[in-house]
Amino acid sequence: MNKLLQSKMPIFEALEQYKASRTVPFDVPGHKRGQGNKELTDFLGEKCMSVDVNSMKPLDNLCHPVSVIKEAEALAADAFGAKHAFLMVGGTTSAVQAMVMSACKKGEKIIMPRNVHRSAINALVVCGAVPVYVNPGVNEALGIPLGMSYEDVERAIIENPDAKAVLVNNPTYYGVCSPLKKIVDLAHQHGLLVLVDEAHGTHFYFHDDLPISAMEAGADLAAVSMHKTGGSLTQSSFLLVQNDVNPGYVRQIINLTQTTSGSYLLMASLDISRKNLAINGKEIFDRVIELAQYARSEINEMGGYYAFGKEIIDGNACYDFDVTKLSIHTRDIGLAGIEVYDMLRDEYDIQIEFGDIGNILAILSVGDKDLAIERLIAALAEIKRLYAKDKSGMLNHEYVDPHVAMTPADAFYADKEQVPLRLSEGKICSEFVMCYPPGIPILAPGEYITPEIIDYIQYAKAKGCFMTGTEDPQIEKINIVQGNPY
């Protein structure tokens, strides 16, 4: 198959041509190329507002592409080694949900790690599929969940011969990868589809020294968060398809929930960023890897912190590690990750990706520079010097095994009542509870509320984690399923 010309940017080129035509707009959006909203135009700029346009024949239609968007999809598929690629403007959330709903119907089983992003469980609420959770491995020293072990996935497949698919994180938020190729081969031997959440793995496609990508491993569908490490605008992603998956059916699933007014700002950013990675990706990620390894070395040299890397690989639940992830364990200086996260932002004007109860994560990607890395290292050193304390009494784990009583859909739509969190022990949760980021549920609908979970939630709140998911914005009360004692 002939490689396509990756220097092309069909959506961007069509927008440039449209701007040059000076067409008079009597369509939506109502700001009419920025003329109707001066404050917004002053803020975003005339260049941006002039290409915030609606679908029309010269610009194609995201719901049913036949020209420039179709060409952009073909270029993306070529760049990522897929049979087909879809431009997603609802974030990787929409791509994950489209994957799940393409593979599973109501009542059908899907095998997945419990430390999935909420988007995957939300898909189960919407479509009524039944999760078969595989508890991830745990690194006891760091307290972090890992990936799924091959043996645990094999056991789940054997015990659930009617399952339709397996979902794998590649990588986790912390950079941990499961044995993806082995899981793909195993699942395919049993006739299951393999879906991969690659929200944090865009760069895997463009550098040989990084973990294997979903398409290279032979997976059937992958949700790729181009905006996270690929340089496109927030909320823009790709959904990749290969093997015998029918792209036409996947398109119909996407169109059930994705907007009919696709943003050309987001689509053009995917087009331009894809070109950049396809042509310059190796060089870009050479540099990112170099920066990350330097930062890891400097942070570990100062002591107290632990910026972990490939040494945590165990050949199974941590089969590989993404060295571009600057994941740092903070508990040994007596501070929760979220406390360091807050200090970096409030006192040093440094915004990292997230902090949880024992770790922080700094995302390094296409836009990072040496000076910024030095500033982060210096700030961490000063935080240690000024604020380090005894670590006794700190919670030492990030993952609580769930006890599942009902499917997410049954629990979410069940008759429910709201009770104080402290009185919810032994009840079945009817909503989500999670720290955001990363958006991995502590509790999902259908799970029993245990004393350990209540303690975890209270501890995370006390340390300053941003809690989301509950109807009660204060997370003082929680919705439970009526009439279901432990």
User: Around Cβ 139, how many Cβ atoms within 10 Å?
Assistant: 21
* The pLDDT value given to residue 205: 98
For residue 484, the model assigns a pLDDT of: 62
Domain coordinates in residue numbering, the chain: 61-278, 280-387, 408-481
Which parts of the chain register pLDDT below 70? 1-2, 484-486
Q: Which two three-digit tokens encode residue 410?
A: 């049954």
Amino acid 399: pLDDT: 80
The one-letter amino acid at 252:
Q
Structure tokens at 16: 């440039």
Name the superfamily (CATH) of residues 280-387. Answer: Aspartate Aminotransferase, domain 1 (3.90.1150.10)
Strand partners for 198 = 224
Structural tokens at position 77 = 């598929």
The pLDDT value recorded for residue 1 is 44
Q: Which CATH number fits domain 61-278: 3.30.1330.10, 1.10.10.10, 3.40.50.1000, 3.40.640.10?
A: 3.40.640.10
| DSSP letter string, 246-258 | -HHHHHHHHHHHS
238 strand-pairing partners: 87, 224
Q: What is the pLDDT of residues 181-199, one digit of tens each?
A: 999 999 999 999 999 999 9
* pLDDT in the model for residue 293: 97
Closest to 406 measured CA to CA, from 448, 434, 377: 448
The model's pTM: 0.95
Strand-pair category, 433-435 with 441-443: antiparallel
> What are the Cα distances from residue 234, in Å, to 26, 45, 168, 227?
28, 18, 23, 5
- Homologous superfamily of the 408-481 domain (CATH): Molybdopterin biosynthesis moea protein, domain 2 (3.90.105.10)
24 CA to centre of own chain: 40
